[in-house]
């Protein structure tokens, strides 16, 4: 069945560009267009589309205001924000993702119109391919998974989320947590990070697949509402307990060591899995420097970034958690980890949060690297 779509943009040129791109994607039907936010709300209420591509910056009602109006009206539709490479575009897009937008695409800005059209088509095609795949089959139905991997606990603050795994013994010190996340990540992180306590005794390093400016905006937004410090990673900064480091968009971030302490390294290394920043790139360095003392968590997102890094964490004796299907926006990255038999636990978003708090406030951790450093 075709995905019925409405295209919203105040630029006639870009409305046509989005419409032409969607016309080339199988099983997508553009049923209407809107040139401003007010007409967009009216047409979405009238036609009840499956998908809306929503321009972020428009006169009158902007993209965020349209999204909030739809939410307040109880209208259920999938929204892909269409954003520019600007501070305002990044800020509004981040807020839109926090308020239920499925994902976003960037307006290409090449000098060559054909290159712009190709890039836009690729971005839209990737996201619509994911929409065609939802809902995916239950993880519990996969014959490749053993019974110990399936978490049956319901999300609650009372559950015991201690890893039932091969790699964590009571005598082990947890020294670092690394998280890989993509589509659906900003909303999930906005639920997770503000609940972490100020006395968190381990650092948290995160790769969220986002472009430059957007990661800084997200870090600033999270820092405003969190008890822990949340910063965009800076090359050479020491890795401190109780601080959350978000990899800068368009760069790679890893753990390195100079002297007795670990530090953040931000560099311009090539993309891994077509991702920059890459989850695998961060996870592999964390496995090397922290060994048994690292916890890797793979959360909502499309693709397979994080699987190879999780494998190295497991080989070094560290722990790996994967987010469960029910609480993922896109069950891609965690599924790959689970089906590769690398996840020590499969947990809901609430259980991940509770587990981090339990382990991160009941450990004699330090900022020192592990024995394998």
| Catalytic residue (one of 21, 151, 182, 285) | 182
Q: In the annotation, is 111 catalytic? A: no
Query: Among residues 209, 221, 345, 365, which one is catalytic?
Result: 209
Q: Kindly report the number of other CB atoms within 10 A of residue 234's CB atom.
A: 12
Task: Assess whether 109 carries a catalytic annotation.
Answer: no
For 245-281, give one letter per residue: b (16+ CB within 10 A) or e.
bbbbbebbbbbbbeeeebbbbbeeeeebbebbbbbbb
Question: Sign of the C-alpha dihedral, residues 134, 139, 141, 145?
Answer: positive
Q: Could you give the angle at the alpha carbon of 107 between the alpha carbons of 67 and 10, nearest 5°?
A: 55
Give the relative orientation of helices 279-290 and 307-315 as an angle to the nearest 10 degrees. 10
CA distance 43 to 219: 35
Q: Is 209 a catalytic residue?
A: yes
Among candidate residues 349, 326, 332, 300, the one with its CA nearest the CA of residue 132: 332
Q: Which of 103, 305, 344, 350 is catalytic?
A: 305
Identify the residue whose tokens are 């809901």. 348
| All residues at 6 or more sequence positions from 43 whose CB lies less than 8 Å from its CB, including other chains | 6, 32, 34
What are the residue numbers of the active site? 182, 209, 305
């Amino acid at each position: 069945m075709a995905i019925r779509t409405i295209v919203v943009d105040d630029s006639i040129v870009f409305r046509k560009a989005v419409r032409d791109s969607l016309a080339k994607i199988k099983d997508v039907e553009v049923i209407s267009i809107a040139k401003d936010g007010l007409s967009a709300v009216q047409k979405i209420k009238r036609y009840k589309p499956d998908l809306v591509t929503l321009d972020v910056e428009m006169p009158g009602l902007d993209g965020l205001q349209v999204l909030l109006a739809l939410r307040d009206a109880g209208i259920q539709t999938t929204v892909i924000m269409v954003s520019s490479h600007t501070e305002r575009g990044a800020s509004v897009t981040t807020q839109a993702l926090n308020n239920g937008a499925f994902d976003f695409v960037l307006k290409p800005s090449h000098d060559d119109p054909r290159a712009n059209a190709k890039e836009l088509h690729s971005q839209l095609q990737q996201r619509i391919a994911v929409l065609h795949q939802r809902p995916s089959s239950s993880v519990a139905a996969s014959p490749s998974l053993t019974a110990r991997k399936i978490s049956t606990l319901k999300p609650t603050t009372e559950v015991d989320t201690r890893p039932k795994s091969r790699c964590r013994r009571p005598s082990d010190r947890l020294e670092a947590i690394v998280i890989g996340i993509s589509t659906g990540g900003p909303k999930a992180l906005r639920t997770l990070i503000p609940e972490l306590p100020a006395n968190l005794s381990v650092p948290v390093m995160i790769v969220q697949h986002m472009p430059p400016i957007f990661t800084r905006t997200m870090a600033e937004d999270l820092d405003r509402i969190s008890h822990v410090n949340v910063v965009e990673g800076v090359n050479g900064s020491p890795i401190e307990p109780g601080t959350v480091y978000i990899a800068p968009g368009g760069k790679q971030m890893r753990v390195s060591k100079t002297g007795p302490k670990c530090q953040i390294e931000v560099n311009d290394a090539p993309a891994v899995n077509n991702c920059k920043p890459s989850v695998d790139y961060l996870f592999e360095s964390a496995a090397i420097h922290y060994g048994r003392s690292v916890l890797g968590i793979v959360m909502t997102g499309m693709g397979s970034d994080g699987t190879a890094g999780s494998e190295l964490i497991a080989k070094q004796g560290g722990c790996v958690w994967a987010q469960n299907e029910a609480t993922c926006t896109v069950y891609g990255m965690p599924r790959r980890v689970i089906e590769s038999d690398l996840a020590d636990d499969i947990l809901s978003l609430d259980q991940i949060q509770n587990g981090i708090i339990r382990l991160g406030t009941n450990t004699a951790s330090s900022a020192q690297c592990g024995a394998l450093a």
